[in-house]
Amino acid sequence: MSEPLPVMYGKKKWRRYVANAVKHLVAAIEPDEVVLGGGNVRKLKKLPPGCRAGDNDNAFVGGFRLWQKTGNPKRKETS
Whole-model pTM above 0.75? no
Compute the distance between CA of residue 53 and CA of residue 38 in angstroms, rounded to an integer: 9
58/54 Cα distance (integer angstroms): 8
Residues 5-55: name the CATH superfamily: ATPase, nucleotide binding domain (3.30.420.40)
Three-state DSSP class for 41?
helix
In angstroms, what CA-CA distances link 29 with 4, 5, 34, 65, 69?
Answer: 27, 25, 10, 16, 18
> Which pLDDT tens digit goes with each residue over 33-64?
888 887 788 888 999 888 999 887 777 777 78
Give the count of beta carbons closer than 10 Å to the beta carbon of residue 51. 20
Convert the pLDDT of each residue in 12-27 to its tens digit: 898 999 999 999 999 9
